[in-house]
Amino acid sequence: MFKTISILVPVYNEKKTIIKCLDRIISSDTMGLEKEIIVSDNCSTDGTVELLKKYSHPKVKCYFKEKNQGKGANIKNALSNANGDLILFQDSDLEYSPENYPDLIKPFFENNADVVYGSRLTRAKTIKIVGFPNYMGNKIFTFLANLLFNMIFTDIATGYKIFRKDVIKSLKINSNGFEIEPEITAKISKNKKLNVFEVPISIYSRSYQEGKKVRWWDFFIYVYTLIKWRILN
């Protein structure tokens, strides 16, 4: 059964939040699973690297990329160093609260889950609304994914995803940018043998003024990525 969890924290220019994020992950409840926290910095330029090099905790391992190749490449770097039985994606900006971990982990013990998505759009506990365009973009994107892959997701753009190690490690992930999210969802959705669950989570969405990095044109890249992986094996 599951004994360990790797929490992947891709980082780029998050000087204001990274230490608070790590502190909250360390103190979080992972339902008895031993934590391994894998931080991958994507060549930050705002002082994040210096903060991470000073940060010391036995559960935290930091890796520093020499070139910024995108969020996807950063996640893949963290994933290549992860050894936990479960693998969880945790953004470093604290939009997603580590207090959600028990809800994300429970389906693996109670429902034989292979993959769990944290949905911001179904019975969310607490949500900070940042704007109609982002909300509608996600709704349209999720509808398209469900149509293409015969699924019933409510929020495929969520940053909170947790996988059995063998499931996520078996995917051949090609994307290096934000399009890693729809690529993973497309490949997970194609495997109808997997038990995939969604659970409601709390969310505190950032505005662009606060440092949000996803831009409007990423919507079209996401759509293209979904269609591409619907066609390709």
Strand locations in 82-233, DSSP E? Answer: 86-89, 115-119, 127-128, 161-164, 196-200, 203-204
Give the mean pLDDT of 168-181.
93
Task: Tell me the pLDDT band of 208, cut-offs 50, 70 and 90.
Answer: very low
Lowest mean pLDDT among 83-87, 91-95, 170-174: 91-95
| pLDDT tens track for 133-142 | 566 777 786 8
Report, as an integer, the average pLDDT of 198-210: 70
Nearest-Å Rg of the Cα atoms of the chain is 17
* Range 166-175 average pLDDT: 96
Contact call for residues 17 and 93 (beta carbons, < 8 A): yes
By C-alpha distance, which of 1, 49, 3, 7 is closest to 161?
7
* Structure tokens that stand for 40 in this block: 């991958």
Query: Average pLDDT in the 81-91 region?
Result: 97
- Mean pLDDT, rounded, for 64-92: 96
pLDDT tier, 205 (very low <50, low <70, confident <90, very high otherwise)? low
Residue 143 pLDDT grade (very low, low, confident, very high; cuts 50, 70, 90): confident
Are the CB atoms for 3 and 85 separated by under 8 Å? yes
Q: Average pLDDT in the 123-140 region?
A: 61
The model's pTM = 0.87
pLDDT value, residue 127: 52
CATH number of 4-231: 3.90.550.10
- CA distance linking residue 231 with residue 151, whole number of Å: 16
Question: Is pLDDT larger for residue 125 or for residue 43?
Answer: 43
**Mean of pLDDT values over 87-92:** 95
Exposure pattern of 163-172 as b/e (b: 16+ CB <10 Å)?
Answer: bbbebbeeee
Contact 155, 123 (CB under 8 A): no
Is the separation of the CB atoms in 17 and 44 below 8 Å?
A: no
Q: Give residue 124's pLDDT.
A: 52
Q: Where do the domains of the chain lie?
A: 4-231
What value does the mean pLDDT take over residues 41-46? 96
DSSP annotation of 217 reads: T
